[in-house]
Amino acid sequence: MPRIVLEPRFPVEYLSILDSDGNLDTALEPKLAADDLRSLYRAMVLGRRLDERMVRLQRQGRIGTFAPIKGQEASQMGSAFTLRRTDWMVPSFRETAAMIWRGWPIEKLLLFFAGHLEGGQPGRDQHDLPITIPVATQLPHAVGLAYAAQYRGDDVVVMAYFGDGATSEGDFHEAMNFAGVWHVPVVFVCQNNQWAISVPLKKQTHSRTIAQKALAYGLPGIQVDGNDVLAVYAAAHEAVDRARAGDGPTLIECVTYRLGVHTTADDPTKYRADEEVAMWEQKDPLTRFRTYLEKRNLFEAGLEQQVDEDIAEAVRRFESAPPADPLTMFDHVYAELPPDLKAQRAEMAAQAPAAPARPGEPRETPPGATPMRGQRLTRR
Amino acid sequence: MPKLNMVKALNLGLFQEMERDRDVLILGEDVGVDGGVFRVTDDLQRKFGSQRVIDSPLAEAAIIGTAVGMALYGLKPVCEIQFSGFAFQCFHQIENHCARYRMRSQGRFHIPMVIRMPYGGGVRALEHHSESEEQFYAHVPGLKMVIPSGPRTARGLLAAAIRDPDPVIFFEAKALYHASKEEVPEESETLPIGRAQVAREGSALTLIAYGAMVRVALEAADVLRDEDGVDAEVIDLLTISPLDRDALVTSVKKTGRAVVVHEAARSFGPGAEIAASIMDGAFLSLEAPVRRVAAYDVPFVGFAREKANVPDVPRVVTAARETLAF
């Protein structure tokens, strides 16, 4: 009986187009119109500036715990940029730049992180799922959406986001497996930011890449420089085209880095070295894209100020949103309120409720950080 | 009117709902070619195709998770979990997502799906194949929890569950699948979710049961009539959540005494909520404490000891006599 190497061997590609020194591979450079390049950069800058603003809002107690995206702007914008409005985006909880690009108003995201469920309501014409917090559990939803679109014969691609930690979860593997068997139009985008709170990638998986995990499910997997927006765009564009053409799912691993905290309740100095962060700061996705745009005379002066003004207006809208009426907590449990819940609602209405919380109102006592996912509470 | 067993009645219900609405599809393990291990989905793949009756890979979390995605898109998936004992591998999808999407998205999305699961003992089955664990689902806000007691209620409630805009957990007692035949009208019918039925009228005591325990309660009522001359009322809950408290209260106000019967373990089970509802609504009518006849608070005991653990007629009769003598 033979013992032989099975063919075909499965390749895993790595794609980089614009490196951190500004070197460009012109043969691989995607053909993006000037306006598209400017829109992409603007969305990345907006993501960065909003991120910084939201951290300050959290420190002031005006919003709650928030998961910053700093450093991951290219991974999420390069990919989300390839979707049409009629396509679907399935986020996890660290995709604010991509969510705003997809049409989420900034003030809604602020409301969400301020504990108002109104912030999690997508617009009627928006093909986006709300933030999903339990890690990897949104991935089967993406596969189901794609199956349903295919079943109805709709021209729709679904793009789902998750992190490196999610690839250890069963739901990730089950979703990849179902997507492969069903051959549905879904693109899995892993933002491999090297750290799942305090656990580094090498303790998360013994695989050399995350991209190669696709091969076990019969899907193409590609690893890209996640801080190179051109490379992410090129890989995502190819995957979306393939999905749209009926050629099935793809896994894209964006190798990036979480420059900030896991959430505003986290203190990364406990588990990672400043030198590592400094090294990744040299690879900042915004800096290298800006250099590229400058070389092509596409850089807009004053962009930061414009973006900051947009954010300031959104913060004002957020803070003037109506207070949370406690009685509305009964509105969206079922289509029709069962008798018992009607009675509970009446019970609440009969009691003098506490003054409703206003969006953005600082709490009287300084906010203690709220840990996420079993992490230790660290006060800074 | 044809006489059908519960398997055939459920199969007819699925067929009729799929004919009625192209958005209804079925997914689960072995539901297609094989027609399900209990044959509830028999022949449906041949009639509706493999895109609508999907033999899924073997993964409970992804069956429910992908069905959530389908429901978010507007389809009406009917999932089969092969045995309810395996549902803990998808409990996170049920609790975190099925139950919450309407709330989380503030009404932008809802989850019109049904999760069918065979449950309960009486079929000499191994571990994870005979448990009765409805209490987990009944406790979760956002879910509905339905357990029919025979062929006609099964068909009617399944149709209602499929048409319901919210997620419904639909337990099917394995002991009832082939237990008896009942006349089931040919034309489709729905039974309202959230409404109990009086399975037997009486005045001395109320026996409250659901699923396979309804038969046990009815037989106990016969014994009480024949041996004690006592006229027991039997309430068939049909829906565990939302609970039909009015039906319970109305009956106990009349009888003054109640015994709850369920296969689930006693502590923190549905019986506790039922007893509390009776206390809330009929306290001044009570002549005796509300009794619970339930499985004991032990993990799976093996079918060699199952009869001692699952409530049977003598245990219900004893509890009823003690309640009457209180």
Of A117, A331, A334, the CB nearest to B104: A117
Question: Considering only CA atoms, which of A46, A56, A100 is closest in space to residue A360?
Answer: A56
| B166 CA: distance to closest CA in chain A (Å) | 6
Kind of pairing, strands B239-241 and B144-146? antiparallel
Amino acid occupying residue B106: Q
Size of interface A-B (CB pairs under 8 A): 133
Nearest CA in chain A to B164: A335
Q: In this structure, what token pair is assigned to residue B268? A: 């923190």
Listed by start position, the domains of chain B span 3-183, 197-325
* ipTM of the complex in this document: 0.96
Range of the domain at A206: 30-319
Band of the pLDDT at A361, cuts 50, 70, 90?
confident
Dist. CA A68–CA A65, nearest whole Å: 10
Question: Would you state the pLDDT for residue A265?
Answer: 87
Peptide bond into A8 cis (omega under 30): yes
Helix A34-59 and helix A303-319, axial crossing angle in degrees, nearest 10? 50
pTM for the whole thing?
0.95
Dist. CA A367–CA A63, nearest whole Å: 10
Question: Would you state the pLDDT for residue A10?
Answer: 77
| Backbone region of residue A280 per phi and psi (left: phi > 0; alpha: psi in -120 to 50; beta: other values) | alpha
Question: Would you state the pLDDT for residue A370?
Answer: 57
- Which residues of chain A neighbour B96 with C-beta distances below 8 Å? 134, 137
Whether pLDDT at A378 is above 80: no
Nearest CA in chain B to A175: B62
As a whole number, mean pLDDT of residues A145-156 equals 98
Question: Would you state the pLDDT for residue A369?
Answer: 55
Of B51, B105, B245, the CB nearest to A340: B245
Which of A99, A128, A143, A145 to mutate against chain B (most B CBs within 10 Å)?
A145
Is residue A216, in this structure, part of any structural domain at all? yes
Is residue A146, in this structure, part of any structural domain at all? yes
Q: Long-range contact list for B309-312, CB < 8 A, 24+ apart?
A: B309/B121, B310/B120, B310/B121, B310/B122, B310/B263, B311/B213, B311/B216, B311/B261, B311/B262, B311/B263, B312/B216
Question: Would you state the pLDDT for residue A365?
Answer: 52
CATH of the domain at A230: 3.40.50.970
Question: Would you state the pLDDT for residue A93?
Answer: 95
Is residue A371, in this structure, part of any structural domain at all? no
C-alpha distances out from residue B254 to A362, B203, B205, B279, B282, Å: 55, 6, 8, 14, 9
Give pLDDT tens digits for B47-90: 999 999 999 999 999 999 999 999 999 999 999 999 999 999 99
Is residue A332, in this structure, part of any structural domain at all? no
Count CA atoms closer than 13 A to B313's CA, side-chain side.
9
Question: Considering only CA atoms, which of B100, B141, B281, B116 is closest in space to residue B206?
Answer: B281
Whether pLDDT at A380 is above 50: no
Whether pLDDT at A46 is above 90: yes
Please answer yes or no on whether B73 and A340 come within 8 Å at the CB atom.
no
Give pLDDT tens digits for A259-279: 999 988 889 999 999 999 999
Question: Any residues with CB less than 8 A from the CB of B59 and at least 6 apart, and which?
Answer: A170, A174, A177, A178, B89
CB A339 within 8 A of CB B244: no
Please answer yes or no on whether A332 and B106 come within 8 Å at the CB atom.
yes
> How many domains are there within chain A?
1
CATH number of B197-325: 3.40.50.920
Amino acid occupying residue B197: Q
CATH number of B3-183: 3.40.50.970
Find the helix or strand (DSSP H, E) in which B172 lies: strand B168-173
Residues of B with CB under 8 A from a CB of A: 25, 51, 56-57, 59, 61-62, 64-75, 77, 92-93, 96-97, 102-110, 141-142, 144, 164-166, 194, 242-243, 245-246
Give pLDDT tens digits for B184-229: 999 999 999 999 999 999 999 999 999 999 999 999 999 999 999 9
Please answer yes or no on whether A141 and B62 come within 8 Å at the CB atom.
no
As a whole number, mean pLDDT of residues A359-376 equals 59
Whether pLDDT at A364 is above 70: no
Whether pLDDT at B323 is above 50: yes
Find the helix or strand (DSSP H, E) in which A162 lies: strand A158-163
Give pLDDT tens digits for B228-240: 999 999 999 999 9
Is residue A241, in this structure, part of any structural domain at all? yes
Question: Would you state the pLDDT for residue A363?
Answer: 63
Whether pLDDT at A373 is above 90: no
